Every structure is written in C-alpha cells, then in structure tokens.
Chains A and B, each alone.
Chain A
Amino acid sequence: MIEVEHLGKSFRARVGRRAAQVRALDDVSFVAQDGRITALLGPNGAGKTTTLRILATLMLPDQGRARVGGIDVVADPRAVRAQLGVLSDARGLYVRLTARENIAYHAQLRGVPAADIDARLAPLAELLDMPDLLDRRSDGFSTGEKMKVALARALIHDPSHLILDEPTNGLDVMSTRALRRLLLHLRDRGKCIVFSTHIMQEVEQLCDEIVVVAHGRSVAHGDAASLRAAAGVATLEDAFVRLAHLQEAA
C-alpha cells in the first residue's frame, strides 16, 4: 500500500535574474491499495512526476509524508527503494551493454543471486514480448524497446510496489498493449501499482482508482464512473476538464 498525505514541494527557479520559489506540489494526498492500479491523472506540470519522485525517494518533500508498504520515504529511503520497482521519466539504458546485461546490473544491485537472474528474466521477457531483444546491445533501440528493457529492469527483483511515470509516452499500439497486459497481470498478483498519465483512454481501460491532480493538488479521486457522476458529465475527459478547472477557479 502506498499512502500519501498532504505532500508539498517547492523548487528554486530563476525568474528573469532573480531566484524564486516555484510551488510544484501544494497538497497531494491519496492511498493506493495493493492489488489495484491507481492512476495519477493530470495535465502537464500538475505535479505528477514530483509526487512519484518523492515516492521513489529521489526527492525530499517540504511538507506532508508518504509511506510505501508502511515505511516512511524520508525515514528509511533504502528500505522503501528495496520494495519498489520504478519506471521513471528517465529510462536511459547503457548503450554498450545488451538488454540482458542492463537488466542483470540492476538485479545484482538489488541483491538478486546471479544464478537466478536468467530464470527470473525469461517469464518477464515473455510477458513483454521481448525475448529476441535480450542479447542485442541496446544502442539503437526504439522507444518501445527501451521501455520494455527499462520495465524489465524495474521488475526483475519482483517488487511489491510499482511506480510508473507516463509509461506509454511515445509507445506504439503493440507496445502499449504489451504494457497493459503486464500491468493487469501484476495487479492480479496483488501488486500495488501507481502510474501517472494524462491519457484518458488508458485510465478508463486500466485503472481501478483515479486521482486527479491539478496545480499541485489532488482534487478528486474515485473510479471512472464515480468521477463522471461527481462532475455531472458523460465522459471522463469532460469530468477531468471540469475537475481540473474547478481547482483553477478556486
């Protein structure tokens, strides 16, 4: 389970010549249950990536708290990282290493015994439809191929919690379907999955729970039907626009 309470985060940024504080997160709260897929739905710049980076212990929040599997991200970041699999915004690979070597590196860093790595990788590669990629050097991989390797890398230690930042960005239909298949498979095995997106279709097809984020605040949550009902509109897109807009007007 991932619990987020009133997260806030500011950055220093340059506005003209002066340094200024930019409020990236104001007040984000949600709970993502095990065995469910939770989406952070929001426009660009809403604070989705920042929220996920705090959960991944790469950033410290200014206020509020977050727990992954009951462990506070600030108090024990290493223990949090140990039970997380993250597909971040940056999904760079080592281009001179093969896909298998890329994945094995992270597996070893996570303490997966060397003898087990191939055995763990085989079913993952099957699910992601990438067995023929494994022994190619990752130089020149397409966006979809890179995503598959990065995802396999994030899952090789069989984490109980999975965080994905806009996983379908730049993916074609086939890759998106492979990803969707994998996420549903993982959910059915009881994993807690949180991903960020701004694509409505994805959310409707995949998610059990939706958290709408706008201007650094979580403004609504529920499943697609309850969000539509709350906004009093027919489609999720309309609901989203209305909910995000209400926040803006407030």
Chain B
Amino acid sequence: MNAVLVVFLKELRDAARDRRTWMIVIISSMIAGPAVLLVLSNFIAGVQERAAKKEIVMAGTQNAPTLVNFLQRAGATVIEAPHDYESQLRTGMLGNSVVIPPTDFEAKLARGETVEVDFLYDDSHDKAQPVVRASLRMVNAFNRELGAQRLLARGVSPQLLAAIAVEEKNLASSGSRGAQLLFIIPWVTLLVSVAGAISVAIDVTAGERERGSLEPLLMNPVDMSAVVLGKWGVVGAFSALVVLLTLTGFIGAMQFVRDETLSAVMQFGAREVGLFVAMLLPFCLLVAAVNMLAATWGRSFKEAQTYVSYFTMLVNLAPLVPLFLTNRDAAWQLFVPSLGQLMVLMRALRGEAVGAFDVFMPGAICLALAALCLVLQGRLLRREEIVFSRA
C-alpha cells in the first residue's frame, strides 16, 4: 500500500477515536450553524417588527395631549417612558427614542411660541436606528402640520416654505439592514474550518512527538513527504467535514426558520451552497497545513496550542478589515486568504455575480500557500532539534 495512504488511514482512525475531535465537530457544526441562523433571523424580524409597530415613547404624556393626539391620529401607539429611560436607552433595553415635552408644552403652544422638545436616543445601538428615525419623522410631521396651520391662519400658503419637497425613499429595506450582519455566515464557516483542524493538527504533530511516537515513525523507510501528506489529508478532511456539516446545519435551519425576512436578505440556494464548498475546501486545506506547521514548531501540545491560536486570531479578525475599506469589494482581497473567501461569499449571499476568477484565485492562493507550509514542515521534521528537543 502507498505510504501516504497508510499514514492517512492510520491518522483517520486515530482521530476518529478521539473524543475531542468529535466534540469540536459536533459543537461547531451542529450547533453553530443553526444557532447563528436563528439569532440572525430573529434579529432581522425584530427590527422589522418594531419599525412597523410605530411606537413612540414619551416621558410625560400628560404634558402634551395635543402631540399625543396627533401621533395617535397618525397611527402610532404612544407609550409612557419608564422612569429609568436614560439608562435603558444606554443599555439598549429600550430600542427606541424618548420624546420629552416640557411641562409648559400646551401653554407655549397656545401662545404660538416655539416649544423645545427633547428627543433622546442612543445611536450606538444599531438595532434602534430605523425605529429612532421613524419616531423622529413623526414628531417632525407634527411640527410641519402645526406650522402649516399657523401660516394658513395668517393667510400665507405653507407652500412658500417648501422651496423643495424632499421625499425620503430609503432604498434599504429592513431586510438589507439585516444584510449588514450577513458577514456572520461566511465568517462562521471560516471559523469552524479552523476549529475543525486544530485538535487533529496538534495531535498529529506536537502530539506525536509528545507521545514519543515521532522518532519510531521517522525510522521507517518512507519519504518524509508521505508522512506529511498523509497527516495533512486527515487534518484537511476533518476541517472540511466540519465546514460541510455547518453548511448542512445552515440549510437545515433555513427550513425551520422559513422566514421571509431572512430569505429576502440572503440567497442561500444550490448555487450559493456550491460556491461555499468551492471557496472553502481549498481554505480548509490551507488551514490544515498552517496549523500543522505551527504545531510542529511547538515543542509540546501546549506550546503548539499557543502558536495555533495566533493563526486563529487572524481569521477571527478578518471581517474587521472591510470595515476600514472605502471599497468593501476591493479586488486585492481575493489575494488574501480569508478576506477573499469572506468577500466572495458575501457577494454570493447578496445575490451578486461571482465570476470564475473570484473562485479560482483565492483557491489557487490557498493551495499554493498550503504547499509552502508542507514543504517547510518537511524541512522542520528533518531537523534534529525539532525531532528530539529544542534546548
């Protein structure tokens, strides 16, 4: 039997008997996928619901019956604010704004004076933004209506004040507001590809040495490349397995969510699943090779975990990069592993075109870097201080 295959089958059997491997496989694939999708769809539905509800929160409804009356006529529900509304706004518990009319609201209004109304909100909570804008628009509508009435009372056409008529048309449906969070889906698949590789990668490298089985293994008359390739195959296979299970989890959860809002936000049909697989498999192979290289350098299981975690952190941080880009679809990202995957997969989810080059280039780069890592690992394993100890 071919030595690569012998090593592959042995490592496969060994990893498949490791409870740690399966813990990670189950946690990251079965749970992460559906959980992320449920949270996402919940979030999007929540934003829509609240924007549709037209709720206005007011501190001191009794001070401004005219305003309350106007708002109710406009179809809004006016709610008295809780007494600790400031802290609730800050923590995001109160996902809206609070309108605070002064106590002399009605008196000033009657005298035709300008009444200062406080409009409190906290725009650090993304979720609240559309709701806050809707509330502000309604309060402003009261302002316009009353102003128009006053002008009419003086025989002036309110049209004079409107040199231009601004009509707001927000192209973002509440759906595409949720789309800002869509990056979570490709990002989670990248994360699980790393999670699936880590424990197996460490076990077949640093673990092999810590157990004292590396030395006997290297005394067999086989090429170093066979040993490295066989191990790489298993690590890559587990990484890919976790990714495939996570995708299956996504597809399964989509059936349960059956949420129009979510399907309006993202495309996740056969084409997208195919693209995910095509983009992620080469990435899994790279993840496997990098993790193995890092873990070979590590003297012990623990040290290996440290080195591997540096790499994991880079993947974790990948979605931050586009935030700082003026063009979130900048093509150079195709050449950077994990950024390229994120960008192309986001485009796929948004239903945008993905060309052959967009799939080929990131994949080719992943495979080239993986090959480099494997060559380096082979070199490391030929070094006496790596095989024995590094004093």
Check if B216 sits within 8 Å of A89, measured CB to CB: no
Known: A93-B211, A109-B3. A86 touches B222 (CB 8 A): no
Query: B216 is contacted by which of A11, A78, A95, A150 (Cβ under 8 Å)?
Result: A150
Check if B219 sits within 8 Å of A94, measured CB to CB: no
Q: How far is the CB of A195 from chain B (nearest CB, A)?
A: 15
Interface membership of chain A positions 54-66, coded 1 if the CB is closer than 8 angstroms to chain B and 0 otherwise: 0011111000000
Check if A90 sits within 8 Å of B6, measured CB to CB: no
Check if A114 sits within 8 Å of B211, measured CB to CB: no
Interface check A6, CB cutoff 8 A: no
Q: How far is the CB of B388 from chain A (nearest CB, A)?
A: 8
Interface check A106, CB cutoff 8 A: yes
Interface check A141, CB cutoff 8 A: no
Interface check B113, CB cutoff 8 A: no
Q: From residue 60 to 89 of chain A, which have CB atoms closer than 8 A to chain B?
A: 60, 78-79, 81-82, 84, 86, 88-89
Check if B391 sits within 8 Å of A13, measured CB to CB: yes
Name the B residues within 8 Å of A109 (CB-CB).
3, 6-7, 217, 220-222
Known: A89-B215, A90-B213. A114 touches B1 (CB 8 A): yes
Interface check B258, CB cutoff 8 A: no
Interface size class of B (residues with CB under 8 A): 20 to 34
Q: From residue 52 to 96 of chain B, which have CB atoms closer than 8 A to chain A?
A: none
Check if B219 sits within 8 Å of A86, measured CB to CB: yes
Check if A81 sits within 8 Å of B220, measured CB to CB: yes
Interface check B218, CB cutoff 8 A: yes
Q: How far is the CB of B390 from chain A (nearest CB, A)?
A: 10
Check if A97 sits within 8 Å of B13, measured CB to CB: yes
Name the A residues within 8 Å of B222 (CB-CB).
109
Q: From residue 1 to 25 of chain A, which have CB atoms closer than 8 A to chain B?
A: 11-14
Name the A residues within 8 Å of B219 (CB-CB).
56-58, 81, 84, 86, 88
Check if A153 sits within 8 Å of B216, measured CB to CB: yes
Interface check A45, CB cutoff 8 A: no
Interface check B365, CB cutoff 8 A: no
Name the A residues within 8 Å of B387 (CB-CB).
58
Interface check B14, CB cutoff 8 A: yes
Question: Once the chains are docked, how many angstroms separate the CA of A91 from the CA of B211?
Answer: 8
Known: A94-B211, A95-B211. A106 touches B384 (CB 8 A): no
Q: From residue 32 to 68 of chain A, which have CB atoms closer than 8 A to chain B?
A: 53, 56-60
Interface membership of chain A positions 220-233, coded 1 if the CB is closer than 8 angstroms to chain B and 0 otherwise: 00000000000000
Question: Once the chains are docked, how many angstroms separate the CA of A97 from the CA of B18?
Answer: 10
Check if B220 sits within 8 Å of A110, measured CB to CB: yes
User: 13 A-B contacts, Cβ less than 8 Å apart?
Assistant: A53-B388, A78-B223, A79-B221, A82-B221, A86-B219, A90-B212, A91-B212, A92-B212, A97-B13, A105-B6, A108-B6, A108-B10, A114-B1
- 3 residue pairs, one from A and one from B, having the closest CB atoms: A92-B212, A90-B212, A92-B213
Residues of B at the A interface (CB closer than 8 Å) are 1, 3, 6-7, 10, 13-14, 17-18, 211-223, 384-385, 387-388, 391
Residues of A at the B interface (CB closer than 8 Å) are 11-14, 53, 56-60, 78-79, 81-82, 84, 86, 88-97, 101, 105-106, 108-110, 114, 150, 153-154
